Chains A and B, each alone.
Chain A
Amino acid sequence: MLEIKDLKVSIEDKEILKGINLSVKAGEVHAIMGPNGSGKSTLASALAGRDYFNITHGKILYEGTDLTELSPEDRAREGIFMGFQYPVEIPGVSMVNFLRTAINAQRKYREEEPMPAGDFLKLMREKKKVVEINSDLTNRSVNEGFSGGEKKKNEIFQMALLEPRLAILDETDSGLDIDALRVVSNGVNNLRSPKNATIVITHYQRLLDYIVPDVVHVLYKGRIVKSGDKSLARELEEHGYDWIKQEVDADT
């Protein structure tokens, strides 16, 4: 579904990603781990289409299409979803209005009729259960006054509503207490299907106990330096990132 070939990404003149190769198939969950500054969020942002990241080399193929040719909103309409690390607040814009606009934008793109208000509210009610999110949050303005954990839940709520084909979750676990972690993970797991794929970006192994990955990659200094199955995550938990850093630095 997603093919990243030798991707190099810079901010201004600084090169952050130095040649990423990644292949994600439908039905898979890939975890991307790595120490701070390794480029994890840059990868997420480049996939989402944040324009102050310059793609200097390489390709991102999503279902065969070169993603770099698509605007962020078109990427979203093609089924790419990003769960933000720091979801922003949009005061004055109600969740309902926001999500309905989003859903209808996607439907329009797919040349479908907009969803009638009644159906949409029903859909919202259904999906709220997936993440155990209350009406008092969904009745408010987007993320306004939400706690960190509530914002993360809200990201997964939106994901449930928008039903993306490729979800990129950027440090979804940061700021979550144990219960919230469980709820959010359940939400993500409930949405898994053979037709969609998820890239989970995280520091910590704990999330991966709940959202069990098919492949774990370690990102260090802008490159994927190691890939393995879920046991790799456990190794990192036990030994930290140092042993990988040493391996890599010894080779170069």
Chain B
Amino acid sequence: MTDQEKILNEVTGSDYKFGFQTNIDTETIPKGLSEEVVRIISAKKEEPEWLTESRLKAFRHWQTMKMPEWAHLKIPEISYQDIIYYAAPKQGAKYESMDEVDPELLDTFNRLGIPLEEQKQLAGVAVDAVMDSISVKTTFQDTLADKGIIFCSFSEAVKNHPDLIKKYMGSVVPYTDNFFAALNSAVFSDGSFCYIPKGVHCPMELSTYFRINAANTGQFERTLIVAEDDSYVSYLEGCTAPMRDENQLHAAIVEIVAMENAEVKYSTVQNWYPGDKEGKGGIYNFVTKRGICKGDNSKISWTQVETGSAVTWKYPSCILRGNNSVGEFYSVAVTNNYQQADTGTKMIHIGKNTRSTIISKGISAGKSENSYRGLVKVLKGAQNARNYSQCDSLLLGDKCGAHTFPYLEVDNPSAVVEHEATTSKIGEDQIFYCNQRGIDTENAISLIVNGYAKEVLNKLPMEFAVEAQKLLAITLEGSVG
């Protein structure tokens, strides 16, 4: 065995750093999904009747649906009756001050690197930390409230801003949209709600941090962001989860509504437990994320760095209804060991002079399978639509797979649609060249991968960019073959 092979076989050097459990009492309900469970969830959250009804409608519809099978993914059958659909830390929902929060919970967040105390925050980042199904604390609410910005948990929004929820929830991703959207609409746990009023430029990065704790608890997040005319918000979503043997289902919905001249930036760094080196365990991440550029001149950008999950299935998309609206999708998706990803985006051009940009960088290593699936659809009335897509795949080793499934449906002759794709490998020669200059193999891979992903990483807000770079390096330790 060559020296390089020896290094490579010191596979996935760092054990999943965030693999630990918090030993707090969590209140759960028995396994399985039924109308009764839906009612229990709604009751525990003290929801109004209209929302309970909405959940039930979604549930009944879900029962008529089947899990789609068109993705390039091999997923063992999921037993939906074997999952617990609700878990909340026993201590209840809201706290006046940090003193009241369960210290173990706080410790958990500290270990994850999210200090909740206002004093310890990164300059100006408000954090809404979701522990399992209940929001623990929302910071900076007061500061934001001065500007009329609402940033709170979804559950709180249901209570305090029901009109907004009623108006916008399901308007971008209706429960009929797909199997997992229906499931989420029935059993969604909690998430974030963000509302930026007319003309307001949100002064700080808004962020949410997720975690799945109790065994077999599905995480069904629901996030809704509404940006009124002339407003701006940048939202960060970062996720970690503990080590588990059983797969855990994550079926979230994120809806974004951007009105005239509004801009929403949504950035994600996803680091859910990816399963062990033999492909056992890990999170199933089936997410429906969609934004609608409702008003003219509006803009929605999705930026994601996906390194975790055993299976990733998501297509953050933009519906470009407003004239001159812009949709962007920047993604680095990394798969290693036995991870699988089928991810990409949909850009639907409806209005006039709409523009979309897609930059997707896939990195496959180990025995993983990484697929890009993208749709650029230009409707008949979409005059002067412009799209630029670039899908690159980087293969590390010869046992992984990279696939590209681009769909272009163009019904307007004035459209200009460009698509470029490259596939490359990190060659032994490149590694050796770095070695010969004194750079060891791990650092060489890190250099090369970061150079490859630079274009996307540059789009992330600074706080995330550094974490993202580290994540890339950690995820790919020991992966060149």
Interface residues, chain A, with chain B CB atoms under 8 Å away: 48-52, 71-73, 75-77, 81-82, 84, 87-94, 97-99, 101-103, 105-106, 109, 141-142, 158, 162
Contacts and interface: CB of A to CB of B under 8 A. Distances in A.
Interface in B429-481: 429-430, 432-441, 443, 447-448, 450-452, 454
Given A73-B441, A93-B447, A105-B437, 6 more contacts: A73-B438, A73-B440, A75-B436, A97-B447, A102-B437, A162-B437
B3 to A, nearest CB: 5
Given A88-B429, A88-B430, A158 B451 contact: no
Given A51-B3, A88-B427, A88-B429, A94 B451 contact: yes
Contacts of A89: 430
A125 to B, nearest CB: 19
A98 B2 CA distance: 25
Interface residues of B, number: 24
29 contacts: A50-B432, A51-B4, A71-B440, A72-B432, A73-B441, A76-B436, A84-B436, A88-B427, A89-B430, A90-B430, A90-B447, A90-B448, A91-B424, A92-B448, A92-B454, A93-B447, A93-B448, A94-B451, A97-B447, A98-B434, A101-B439, A101-B447, A102-B434, A102-B439, A105-B443, A106-B438, A109-B438, A142-B433, A162-B438
B451 A84 contact: no
A74 to B, nearest CB: 8
Contacts of B433: 84, 87-88, 90, 142
Contacts of B429: 88
Contacts of A48: 436
A158 B430 contact: no
A77 B434 CA distance: 12
Nearest to A79: B438
A101 B444 CA distance: 9
A73 B429 CA distance: 14
B451 to A, nearest CB: 3
A160 B440 CA distance: 21
Question: Is chain B's binding surface mostly helix, strand, loop or mixed?
Answer: helix
B435 A77 contact: no
B438 A71 contact: no
Contacts of B447: 90, 93, 97-98, 101
Contacts of B4: 51
B4, B434, B452 interface centre (most CB from chain A within 10 Å): B434
A82 B424 CA distance: 25
Contacts of A72: 432, 435-436
A109 B450 CA distance: 23
Contacts of B454: 92
Nearest to B455: A92
Contacts of A103: 438
Q: Which are the 4 A-B pairs with shortest beta-carbon distances?
A: A92-B451, A72-B435, A93-B451, A76-B438
Contact of A51 (B2, B443, B452): B2
A88, A90, A103, A162 interface centre (most CB from chain B within 10 Å): A90
Contacts of B452: 91-92
B389 to A, nearest CB: 19
A71 B439 contact: no
A90 B451 contact: yes
A48 B429 CA distance: 13
A76 B437 contact: yes
Given A92-B451, A97-B451, A73 B430 contact: no
Contacts of A105: 437-440, 443
Contact of B451 (A49, A99, A141): A141
B6 to A, nearest CB: 9
Contact of B443 (A101, A109, A141): A101
A144 B451 CA distance: 13
A81 B435 CA distance: 10
Contacts of B450: 92
Contacts of A71: 3, 435, 440
A71 B3 CA distance: 8
Nearest to B441: A73
Nearest to A101: B439
B429, B430, B432 interface centre (most CB from chain A within 10 Å): B432
Nearest to A71: B3
B456 to A, nearest CB: 11
A102 B432 CA distance: 13
Given A71-B3, A92-B454, A141-B451, A49 B438 contact: no
B207 to A, nearest CB: 29
B434, B437, B451, B454 interface centre (most CB from chain A within 10 Å): B437
A81 B436 CA distance: 7
A105 B439 CA distance: 6
Interface string B1-18: 011100000000000000
A75 B427 CA distance: 21
A77 B435 CA distance: 9
A87 B437 CA distance: 12
Given A76-B435, A90-B430, A102-B437, A52 B2 contact: yes
Contacts of A91: 424, 451-452
A94 B434 CA distance: 13
Contacts of A98: 434, 437, 439, 447
A102 B433 CA distance: 11
B438 A82 contact: no
Interface in B268-300: none
Contacts of A81: 436
A49 B435 contact: yes
Contact of A102 (B427, B438, B451): B438
Nearest to B424: A91
Nearest to B427: A88
A91 B443 CA distance: 16
Interface string B393-437: 000000000000000000000000000000010010110111111
